[in-house]
Amino acid sequence: MSTTSEFYLQRANENAKAAGETNLVNVRERCLRAEAAWRTMAERLIDTEEKKKTDALEKAQRADNWS
């Protein structure tokens, strides 16, 4: 299964919602930590995807220049 940034963001949103719905401090804190972790993973994956696109574009441009 390929994990996408959409998946990570969904999990983050679910944890944010759960944090807002609970009255238990420890559960809220756990959910907020999980939300932050999921958002960090999403941001890293988005950065990686953008870097791959940029690298591919630069590679294609170099190949065009050699032609």
- pLDDT at res. 48: 95
Full residue range of the structural domain in which residue 40 is found: 5-66
pLDDT at 28: 98
Question: How many domains does the chain fold into?
Answer: 1
**Are 13 and 44 a contacting pair, CB within 8 Å?**
no
For 17-50, write each residue's pLDDT tens digit: 999 999 999 999 999 999 999 999 999 999 999 9
* Average pLDDT of span 53-63: 93
pTM here is: 0.81
> What is the pLDDT at residue 46?
96
